[in-house]
Structure formats: C-alpha cells, structure tokens
Amino acid sequence: MRIFRYLENSLSYLGVMTEDGDSYRLDAPDLMTLVANARTAGLTTAAYVGTMLGSLSPIGAPTETLQLTTPLDAPEVWAAGVTYQRSREARNYEATEGRLDADTFYDKVYEAERPELFMKSTAARTVGPGEAVCLRSDSSWQVPEAELGLVLDSSGAIIGYTAGNDMSCRDIEGENPLYLPQAKIWKRSCSIGPFVRLAETVADPYALSIACRIYRDGALVVDETAHTGLLKRKLEELVSFLKRDNELFDGTVLLTGTCLVPPNQFTLASGDRIEIEIEGIGTLVNTVISTHELDMAPNQA
C-alpha cells in the first residue's frame, strides 16, 4: 500500500494506491495525520486505510498522469554516508585521486560503530517527482545518489519507505572531507517520492532492488542496479544514532546511503533525466537544471 500526494485545481490531496493498482483519494490532509488517525483507532495505517476503502472515492485518472508532489513535507531530511561497500570505494577514489591501494578515513567510517550522519535538506530545499534538481555552480563532478529513504515519526519509528536522490559533488567532498556540507547541501539538491510505501506492507526492506538510470538527449548513459541487502548497517541502527540526544519531528526522512555510483568519468549535465527506481515503492524522476538556468526561471519545476 503506497501513499502519495497530488495537485488538482491548485489544491493538494492525499491518495493511496492499493496492491491491485487502484488509487483512491483520502480524507486526511497529509501522511502524518493519517498515521495519527490510525493510531487513535488502534490500527496500523494500512489496516486503517483498508477499513475505509469501500467508502473512498476512486481517482479517475492513472497515477502517472497526476501532478504528483513530494509525498510529504519532510521538515528535515538526514542522510547516512558510506553504508555500502560501493560508496566506500567511490569515496576512497575521490579522496586519493584515483589510488585504490590507500586506506582513508572513509575506511574508518565504514568499519566504525558510529555511522556517518548529516543534515541533507529541509522541506524548502526538497523537490518531488517531475521537478528539477539543481547543479551546484562551483562543482565540475556531480552525480545523483539513489537511496532508500525512511519516513520516521517523532519517536523514530519507521512509518514507511520512499525513494530519495542525494545529489552530491564528488570533487568538493574529495578535495576535503570538511567540505561535506557544501558537497551535499544547496538549493534543489534533494528529491524524494513519488510514493511512501507503508512499512507494515514491506516484508523485507533488505530485499529491495534499486536502479539508477540517467538519460542524456534521449539516450541511456548510466544504468546501474543493486539491492538493499548490500547495506552494511541495519536500518534501526541508523535511526538509533539519528535520534540519540536529538529531537526528531514527525515526517523526518532518513536517506540510508547509496549502493549505486555512476562511472568515475561521468558527471551530470543540464537537461539530463534521472530515474531512481526502488522495487515496490516506485520510480522517482527528475530533470537536471543549472543554477544559472534556475535563477533565470525561478518558477522552473
């Protein structure tokens, strides 16, 4: 069961897609209100929605034709780094200018008890499906990072799963690890969506395939696949460190790291189309725009 949001006549609505592919409009204004209503009724969110399906109005259009937005307004998006061996290898390549025989601090992060966690985005900086992600103007080596996102409540409970794009500047991070915030955080550097798959409907979050495809001028130039079973750390472990001596807010999203890295010679260009697909969740599609183009057209979506 997947939750989504869409716009119709400039109004935002919450929707649900069932396992049969049927979509219905929900009465709740947002995902976290839906979760709270389910808890008041003493039910899981999926079970609560199930009790209402007979009285809900079908959405009279295919989901792919709707104007989808972020599935929720995440007050904060956090991210975990170096949680997959593939990410470790890529970070080492950046830090050593291509030497593969040198140990770096990324090896230490990968093996450490404490994971790397950093603030990635806020609601104002996060875009949804169909919107444009932005290239940073002072970087010449930028890539998307396809990641499984955890949707959390204020206690750290995993409400659901979504797809996320942690846009990254490999040259800035490789130059100096203390530049990480600038390598990760700028306007439109994060996207999430298009759905939130309710956690209770996912049998095994470590058995999800992930794909990242990038198209340039209509041609497929990057096609990478992997799966969440390669994740070194448990999801609950990442959450436990995020909430340690920290305040979480309902709807916080935690991106869990990437297992997909484009070839080292690849960098994004304006006009590229990024597709991040996670099994059972959906495909997050964004186009790429330069900062200059975005500044010239501030309402660009």
pLDDT digits (tens, 9 = 90+) for 180-208: 999 999 999 999 999 999 999 999 999 99
Show the tokens assigned to 272.
């590229």
Mean pLDDT of the chain: 92
Higher pLDDT, 102 or 114: 114
Model pLDDT, residue 261: 87
Helix axes 45-52, 31-40, angle to 10 degrees: 90
Dihedral (CA of 263, 267, 268, 269) sign: negative
Model pLDDT, residue 221: 97
Residue 137 burial by CB count (10 A; 0-12/13-18/19+): exposed, middle or buried? exposed
Higher pLDDT, 83 or 47: 47
Model pLDDT, residue 3: 97
CB atoms within 10 A of CB 83: 26
Element (H, E) at 79: strand 76-81
Model pLDDT, residue 155: 97
Q: How far apart are the first and last CA of the chain?
A: 27
> For residue range 240-269, what is the model confidence (pLDDT) as tens digits?
999 999 999 999 999 999 989 899 899 999
Does pLDDT of 298 surpass 60? no
Model pLDDT, residue 101: 62
Angle at 297 between CA 163 and CA 125, to 5 degrees: 35
How many angstroms separate the CA atoms of 189 and 127, rounded? 8
How many angstroms separate the CA atoms of 76 and 20, rounded? 32
Q: Please check whether residue 272 is in contact with residue 288, taking contact to mean a CB–CB distance below 8 angstroms.
A: yes
| Percent of the chain topping pLDDT 70 | 95
CB atoms within 10 A of CB 30: 18
SS3 assignment, position 3:
strand
What DSSP character marks residue 56?
S
Closest CA to 233 of 116, 91, 75, 108: 116
